[in-house]
Amino acid sequence: MPCTLIYPESYIRRARKFLRKHPEIHNQYRKTLELLELDPYHPSLRLHSLEGRLRGLSSVSINRSYRIVLELEIRNEKIILVNIGDHGQVY
């Protein structure tokens, strides 16, 4: 069942800044979002729950270096995007 991606203003600002710095991954980013919307559990996304101060959030991979942190509400089929960046930036 497809999910709805929710883009809070804070995420949009972070994503714009991130994509300006890394224009080479724009297509991978777009494909990641499309797949996330269609099937958040697709193996290539490497969806996993986070712990510690990020408990309650999850992460998916754009590629080996970059991640998207998100809040996953399966009950309502909503995915709220929280942050984007490399491992050190988002964790």
pLDDT tens digit sequence for 31-78 = 999 999 999 999 999 999 999 999 999 999 999 999 999 998 767 789
Question: What is residue 82's three-state secondary structure?
Answer: strand
Instruction: Give phi and psi for 3, each to the nearest 5.
Output: -105, 160
What pLDDT does residue 76 have? 79
Taking the model in full, what pTM does it have? 0.89
- pLDDT (0 to 100) of residue 67: 95
For residue 63, which amino acid is it? N
C-alpha R_g of the chain: 12
> Above 80 in pLDDT, residue 23?
yes
Nearest 10 degrees: Cα torsion 70, 36, 30, 65 = 60
The C-alpha atoms of residue 87 and residue 41 are separated, in whole angstroms, by 20
Take residue 35 and report the two structure tokens written for it.
Answer: 């797949």
